[in-house]
Structure 1
């Protein structure tokens, strides 16, 4: 039995799946719009897991459920529901006090927690993520929501005071922007979606939420929690083919904020459809081709350890993954030997396999694409360095270390988003700097060196090319309190617990001249709690 047959044999029959990880198909026949879970009797999309099941007829992808294929009609109805709930800023939600909005979100977190087991299982089955990483995604999302609540409390405390300048007294707070269209990615269908969805809601906006193509069912168990936690029309779901339902929403001109995580091509197309782009705020996390730079002064054992995690965590299906590695030619052979040894030690298996590192890739066409870019590299002078690199069986792809990669290859330019590690030799570090200058991407870079002068010489030019420079560590999003953004085609706007709240709101102020009449007026409003905006209430 060859290696591809061996990894193909990892797929098991239904009876061999551990009881706690089995999943009965979930057939979603409702969607949330205008505060109601509306029945759906139209066409549906079948959801097949990247996990294959061994059957007497051979390996077959497991059907895990179905969900509605909505049309422009339902999308427009959801938009009207969001507009009605916002009511030009006069609705219950945008005018609600911050403390009451927080109570609604806390209620949602509690109800969300009740669905943990099912949501974690759906992440595993729908996108092939390991049980450990699926559980971590859920728990990290809950932590993010709680951190957002605490951060908003802190922002509101600072805003509860009045400022006096040049005879004018004012209170400055953050107010909502309007209707938000939120579209998250498949690789972190819960966490990354909620890093825009949650701050958008809590700041008083109303929401249209379109789940990702892969990872749609993940959100189904939470629809009732949304319905029961927020006023009607605050959260509305949009289902259907993105090309069919989103262009019309943008062309309506009624979307105030586009929160999108995906490709820059799609983001640009959506933005262009808005009739008044100057009125549209975009919060975007887009393409990335994060580079690692390994110099002769690096600790190779540490570098390999960080690069293995950075390139292959969740099969490299992360925007923050390291997707190209530059290594100084003098140490290239040594580095490649250690990297190949580390790859060989990785465990390939099904999402519930204990200690698994490599699981089935989520996108059905990904194995063929990865074969294509590896073949293109080989045709242009590269080779697969590690044993069994690129071996494929259905949705399993064993990681491939490809060397030497050059600018004639697709792997040099394209974001592979999978378990392939392109390694580029360099003689002068200026070659690396030029690559990053010319790259359309500008998210992160990782520098591996223990020479202070060398590291400093790279930091200064690279902080003006990417948004985060990591020293002797992989690229990553967290901690969530740090800014997460990018230059060039990699992002628009900044996300962090604090920055996201700012991204989905605008500073507004109430001001008046400090006359005795105006002082009495302001005091009366505050003392009698006549306004939710103009208030000195202090949230504990």
Structure 2
């Protein structure tokens, strides 16, 4: 597909991100940067095609990582900081301000999702809208938790007043396949409870965080959310070695989780919130409605090209129906539409050229 055929609303100009957020300050990065490309190719003036240049992000290292974690630690101050001691009402107001500001960047974030990780248009809009809804639902859920915590529990003659509180400093590392939704499913509950956080975006799906930096800065007190960019070994590793991190929140591979845990000097007190790889099975029994089963299995195995931790990895089909199931499944796969993310497509290019 030529660049001219891309709908005007989805054409992209390079986004040069040279900012990062530490201790409530949007700082200008003057060091090395990482170029971000899409595997979707576009032509140059001579008609030659090459991966589309999307922009740049800071390539930060150990010094910035340590600055970020110390800022988060200072803001938490062993639970005595402004954020952990702030009233629930005021913390929720901050989150409501953030979600309102975030909603203003819907089109920009969706466009970056489509170009950088090649998620189709429908799923990209869905990811953004689900994230907004998730934040609002989390706000309501925390209101219920707070109301419940205001009451005394009475069991076997014992009165108890039980309330939930923050744990400390959280290192948040999200995945590339849902760089907005799943990342915010880690980050939002952490900060809404009164924790402070250091957040490093994934290698892919990194540019879409850049437009939201100002929203984070304007919505939360200094040091509550600190956002840095760079390779995991350059950012996450030195942060873990400090021993400051109280909670590791990671969605990724188990080997990454093990490696990061091993770097912490006090593993016994490190809390873990992990979403790791899985071999999710789909089981088709002999009395199943085959057409419905095939539809569900197509969605389960191939949504976003199967690049989901919740994707069905293996299908177990009863031998009495396996021939009919395979025929229907193969026909359904043949009918899937492959194309560019901005079209009405189901299958799209893979975001890493090594996986093509």
Task: Tell me the TM-score range normalised by the shorter chain.
Answer: over 0.9
Q: What corresponds to 1:97 in structure 2?
A: 87
Q: What corresponds to 1:111 in structure 2?
A: 101
Deviation at 1:23, TM superposition (A): 1.1
**Does residue 31 in structure 1 map to residue 20 in structure 2?**
yes
Q: Secondary structure at the match of 1:275?
A: coil
Q: What corresponds to 2:4 in structure 1?
A: 15
Deviation at 1:296, TM superposition (A): 2.7
Deviation by residue 1:471-503 (Cα, 9 ceiling, x = unmatched)? xxxxxxxxxxxxxxxxxxxxxxxxxxxxxxxxx
Contact 2:60-2:234 within 8 A present in 1 as well: no
Deviation at 1:161, TM superposition (A): 2.1
Deviation at 1:363, TM superposition (A): 2.1
2:39 pairs, out of 50, 53, 75, with 50
Q: What corresponds to 1:194 in structure 2?
A: 184
**Does residue 361 in structure 1 map to residue 353 in structure 2?**
no
Q: 1:343 to 1:156 in 2, by over 3 A?
A: same
1:172 pairs, out of 162, 166, 169, with 162
Q: Secondary structure at the match of 2:310?
A: coil
Deviation by residue 1:21-40 (Cα, 9 ceiling, x = unmatched)? 11111011110001001111
Structure 1: gaps of 5 or more residues: 1-11, 368-540
Deviation at 1:166, TM superposition (A): 7.9
Deviation at 1:332, TM superposition (A): 2.3
**Does residue 135 in structure 1 map to residue 128 in structure 2?**
no
After the TM superposition, which of the residue ranges 342-351 and 55-64 deviates more from structure 2?
55-64
- 1:392-411 matches, within 5 Å, as none
Q: What corresponds to 1:260 in structure 2?
A: 250
Q: Secondary structure at the match of 1:351?
A: coil
CA distance in 2, matches of 1:156, 1:90: 19
1:85 pairs, out of 75, 84, 89, with 75
**Does residue 344 in structure 1 map to residue 334 in structure 2?**
yes
Q: Secondary structure at the match of 2:321?
A: helix
CA distance in 2, matches of 1:344, 1:306: 16
Aligned length: 355
CA distance in 2, matches of 1:345, 1:58: 31
CA distance in 2, matches of 1:40, 1:238: 10
CA distance in 2, matches of 1:277, 1:13: 52
Q: Secondary structure at the match of 1:349?
A: coil
Q: 1:163 to 1:333 in 2, by over 3 A?
A: closer
2:295 pairs, out of 305, 327, 333, with 305
Q: What corresponds to 2:240 in structure 1?
A: 250
Q: Secondary structure at the match of 1:174?
A: coil
Which is richer in helix? 2
CA distance in 2, matches of 1:324, 1:99: 46
Deviation at 1:164, TM superposition (A): 5.7
Q: Secondary structure at the match of 1:329?
A: coil
After the TM superposition, which of the residue ranges 288-297 and 242-251 deviates more from structure 2?
288-297
2:110 pairs, out of 114, 120, 126, with 120
CA distance in 2, matches of 1:304, 1:141: 28
Q: Secondary structure at the match of 2:204?
A: coil
Q: 1:169 to 1:341 in 2, by over 3 A?
A: closer
Deviation at 1:289, TM superposition (A): 1.6
Q: Secondary structure at the match of 2:101?
A: helix
- Calculate the TM-score normalised by the size of structure 2: 0.96
- What CA RMSD, in Å, does the superposition of the two structures yield over aligned residues? 1.4
